[in-house]
Structure 1
Amino acid sequence: METETAETETASGGRPLTGRRVAIYILAFFGVVIGVNGVMMKLAVDTLPGTVVDSAYRASLAYNKEIAAAHEQVSRGWQVAAHVERVAERDGGHKASVRIEARDATDKPVSGLVVTARLARPTDRRDDRTLEIAERGIGIYRGEAEDVAAGQWDLVIEAARGGDRVYLSKNRVVLP
């Protein structure tokens, strides 16, 4: 009889390891793995910013036009300087103020442009901010965007004249 009791007890003096306990351990293990995977998938889908380009084929067709436009832009010899500043507001938020100055190859101010600017987050398009840009002086354009957080942004400036884009610039800025 002593040998029967010794067989049902474990070496540590605890309960015996049965098929039922092994099944519970395996189910618990896979339940935790599946649960963690489900949570991670939900978080990944919720934070997915989406596609950058709807059609890669169409974007590749426009590439040669972009190269030609860049060559035309360089041949104009324009000098465009931009200054971005993050300003605290009374309500605790922050806005970004942008000042753009455009000069031609002879260092004369370039006036009469339709300028658009955008502060784009490098990591998430959902945080992009469009600025209302207006000419405030000869060759000087200013605009502001609301609710701009600190961090890295891409300042994208486009200028058009007569419906044709004549200038495009994308620069990384860090706002404190």
Structure 2
Amino acid sequence: MKSASSDFQPTTRFGLLTGRGVLIGLLSAFAVVFTANGLLIYNALSTFDGIEVADAYQKGRAYNHVLEAMEIQKQLGWSAAVEVDDKGSAHDVRLRVAFTDRAGQPLRGLTPHGVFYRPVVGGLDQRLAMKEISPGRYEAEFHLAEGGNWIARVAAEGPHGEKFAQEQRVTIRD
């Protein structure tokens, strides 16, 4: 078989394409990708790591104790209706909680406290003891440093050492 003659001429506009040229182009493309990845990894590791507590690993290992405490709390049959009122002024917040037992009766004689903390930002947490304003209803007033997303945590201890805790995400307007 005879090959047909053709008038095709490879372009030389960018120079003659050789194995060396292909290798240099390929290595250059990978160098750009690795440089970009390196910069992104450096920026990711040198900024906030998402860990707010120093002993996060140990707390993670002790999580079974948290699960046991949750089961004990569930067996108590207590419930808490948490209400957050911003009182119409910036960052002044009233936290109200109504505690009831399994039968729906108000729980008296508890020692509750309320905590407001930011999910990501440390150092702005506030903890206050709550006062009983009526049977089973407790209240505390907070002045928060800024608006935004907060977690309101209510914890109470009963007269016989029973423990109860509940968290609720709230948004405080600026």
TM-score using structure 2 length: 0.64
Q: Against the structure 1 CA distance between its residues 104 and 117, is the aligned structure 2 distance closer, same or farther, given a 3 Å change threshold?
A: same
Instruction: Identify the residue that residue 68 of structure 1 maps to in structure 2.
Output: 68
Whole-Å separation in 2 of the counterparts to 1:49 and 1:146: 28
SS in 2 for 1:127: coil
SS in 2 for 1:158: strand
The structure 2 residue matched to 1:111, chosen from 108, 112, 115, is: 108
Matches within 5 A, 1:27-46: none
Deviates further, 73-82 or 142-151: 142-151
Paired letter, 1:70: M
**Runs of 4+ more than 3 Å apart:** 48-51, 162-165
Paired residues, what number?
Answer: 130
Whole-Å separation in 2 of the counterparts to 1:119 and 1:49: 22
Q: Against the structure 1 CA distance between its residues 106 and 165, is the aligned structure 2 distance closer, same or farther, given a 3 Å change threshold?
A: closer
SS in 2 for 1:126: coil
Whole-Å separation in 2 of the counterparts to 1:97 and 1:53: 27
Instruction: Identify the residue that residue 133 of structure 2 maps to in structure 1.
Output: 136
Q: Structure 1: which 5+ runs fail to align?
A: 1-40
Give the deviation of 1:69 after TM superposition: 0.9
**Identical counterparts, % of pairs:** 25
Paired letter, 2:114: A
Whole-Å separation in 1 of the counterparts to 2:146 and 2:57: 34
Matched, 1:171 2:160: no
SS in 2 for 1:59: helix
Whole-Å separation in 2 of the counterparts to 1:165 and 1:128: 25
The structure 2 residue matched to 1:154, chosen from 144, 151, 154, is: 151
TM-score using structure 1 length: 0.63
Q: Structure 2: which 5+ runs fail to align?
A: 1-42
Q: Against the structure 1 CA distance between its residues 163 and 152, is the aligned structure 2 distance closer, same or farther, given a 3 Å change threshold?
A: farther
Whole-Å separation in 1 of the counterparts to 2:132 and 2:141: 13
Given that residues 158 and 165 in structure 1 are in contact (C-alpha distance below 8 angstroms), is that contact kept between their aligned partners in structure 2? no
The structure 2 residue matched to 1:97, chosen from 94, 99, 104, is: 94
Given that residues 50 and 120 in structure 2 are in contact (C-alpha distance below 8 angstroms), is that contact kept between their aligned partners in structure 1? no
Q: Which has the higher helix share?
A: 1
